[in-house]
Chain A
Amino acid sequence: MSTIQISVSALAETKMALHSAKHGFSNPIHGIIVGKSGSDGVVEIVDAVPVCHEVPTKPIVDMALRLVDAHLQQQGDNELTIIGWYTSNASTSDDETPNFSACRIASSMSDCCQEEGGDNFILVMVTTSGLLAAVSKDSDSSSALCRVFQKDARTKTFSSEVDSSLITQENDTSYIISKAMSKEMPIYDFVDHISNYGSDDWKNMDWIKNGSIKL
Chain B
Amino acid sequence: MGPEEELPTLIAQKDHLNVLRYVRAHELREPNLVVTHGKILLESKTLGDAERLASLEQICIAACDIGDLDLAESCLDTIVNPSSKNKSSLVVTKESSRYRKLLALCLEAAGNYESAGAVYDILLQDNPSNAYAAKRKYCILAAQRGKEADAMKALDEYLSKHPGDLAAWNEMAEVCLSVSDFKGAAYCYEELVLGCPLDSNIHTKLGEAYCTAGGVENDKLARKHLAQAVQLDPNNLRAWFGLVAAAEGYLEEIERMSKNKREAEDQGVEVAKELIKFGGEKLVGIYKGTKMARIINAVLKESSESL
In the bound complex, residues from chain A placing their C-beta under 8 Å from that of B294 are 70, 74
In the bound complex, residues from chain B placing their C-beta under 8 Å from that of A153 are none
Interface residues of B in 206-221 (CB under 8 A from A): 207-209, 211-212, 214
How many angstroms between the C-alpha atoms of A74 and B298 in the bound complex?
A: 9
**B237, A194: Cβ atoms closer than 8 Å:** yes
In the bound complex, residues from chain A placing their C-beta under 8 Å from that of B39 are none
Greatest chain A CB density within 10 A among B236, B286, B295 is at B295
How many angstroms between the C-alpha atoms of A208 and B294 in the bound complex?
A: 13
In the bound complex, residues from chain A placing their C-beta under 8 Å from that of B212 are 57-59
For residue A66, CB closer than 8 A to chain B, the reply is yes
Interface residues of A in 15-69 (CB under 8 A from B): 25, 28, 54-55, 57-60, 62-63, 66-67
For residue B302, CB closer than 8 A to chain A, the reply is yes
Number of contacting residues on A, CB 8 A? Answer: 31
Minimum CB–CB distance from A98 to chain B (whole Å) comes to: 13
Minimum CB–CB distance from A60 to chain B (whole Å) comes to: 7
List the interface of chain B (C-beta within 8 A of A): 29, 143, 145, 174, 177-180, 182, 207-209, 211-212, 214, 235-238, 241-242, 244-246, 248-249, 286, 290-292, 294-296, 298-299, 302
A67 interface neighbour in B145, B242, B249, B299, Cβ under 8 Å: B299
Assess A91 versus B178: contact at CB under 8 Å? Given A59-B211, A194-B238, A203-B290.
Answer: no
**B249, A58: Cβ atoms closer than 8 Å:** yes
Minimum CB–CB distance from B221 to chain A (whole Å) comes to: 14
Minimum CB–CB distance from A111 to chain B (whole Å) comes to: 15
Please report whether the interface of chain B is mostly helix, strand, loop or mixed according to DSSP. helix
22 A–B pairs (Cβ distance < 8 Å), ordered by A: A54-B174, A57-B182, A57-B211, A58-B208, A58-B211, A58-B214, A59-B207, A59-B246, A62-B248, A67-B292, A67-B296, A67-B299, A70-B299, A71-B295, A74-B295, A91-B145, A93-B145, A100-B180, A101-B178, A101-B180, A197-B235, A203-B290
Interface residues of A in 83-101 (CB under 8 A from B): 90-91, 93, 99-101
**B291, A62: Cβ atoms closer than 8 Å:** no
In the bound complex, residues from chain B placing their C-beta under 8 Å from that of A58 are 208, 211-212, 214, 245, 249
In the bound complex, residues from chain B placing their C-beta under 8 Å from that of A59 are 207-208, 211-212, 241-242, 245-246
In the bound complex, residues from chain B placing their C-beta under 8 Å from that of A74 are 294-295, 298
In the bound complex, residues from chain A placing their C-beta under 8 Å from that of B291 are 203, 206
How many angstroms between the C-alpha atoms of A57 and B236 in the bound complex?
A: 17
Give 7 nearest A-B pairs by CB, closest first: A59-B245, A197-B237, A55-B177, A57-B208, A70-B295, A58-B212, A70-B298
